Amino acid sequence: MSHPKAKVSLRQQYRLLLISFLSEGLSPRAIALGLAIGVTIGLFPVIGLSSVVCLLAAHIFRLNHSLVQGANWAVTSLALLLIIPFLRLSEFVLRVDPLSLDDFTRTSLKWSTAATELWHGLLHAVFGWLLCAPVIFIIIYTTTLLTMRRIRRHPEASVSLNPEAIS
């Protein structure tokens, strides 16, 4: 008779994942750096480009590729939600007229005008991301590093579940 699997919270799953990376021999610093790079680059407003950049960053910094890409893919939905806030932040900082999203619903808008407006909007969103990226990186890196050091010191207090209960 098989035992029903225990319900595991998202927080416990996250901790078990971090513990598994520690057990693979990754240092807390490497895990924190990998997650911070994956999340920060994953929030880049040009969808699709972040996977290639994460691959290059993981290779250059000799990080665990699955850790970096997993963090990247985990925030893809959030990246879509943050395009407009990045755009608005950039417009505010640069003191330019805001891009009116209502203009794109008009049928009288020419393709060349629409393409130019979208290109400017994309550049502004990238600039907004560049303003936020260092802060995002520092927050993710610091909190993950502190968490990993705590888990490393007291692994039994972090999660008292069997990792097989998740799968």
pLDDT in tens, 85-120: 999 999 999 998 887 766 656 655 676 776 777 788
Buried b (16+ CB within 10 A) or exposed e, 9-22: eeebeebbebbebb
Task: Assess whether pLDDT exceeds 90 at residue 152.
Answer: no
The predicted structure's pLDDT at residue 48? 87
* Percent of the chain surpassing pLDDT 70: 80
Question: Which of 10-24, 69-83, 141-155 has the lowest average pLDDT?
Answer: 10-24
Average pLDDT over residues 40-59: 94
For residue range 110-150, what is the model confidence (pLDDT) as tens digits? 767 767 777 888 899 999 999 999 999 999 999 999 988 88
Where are the chain's structural domains?
10-160
Other Cβ atoms within 10 Å of 95 Cβ, number: 6
Note whether 51 and 72 are within 8 A (CB): yes
CA pair distance 111, 136, nearest whole angstrom: 35
Higher pLDDT: 162 or 147? It is: 147
Alpha-carbon distance of 43 to 136, in angstroms, equals 9
Residue range 4-27: mean pLDDT, rounded: 72
Closest by CA position to 71, among listed 140, 158, 162: 140
Predicted confidence at residue 132, as pLDDT, reads: 97
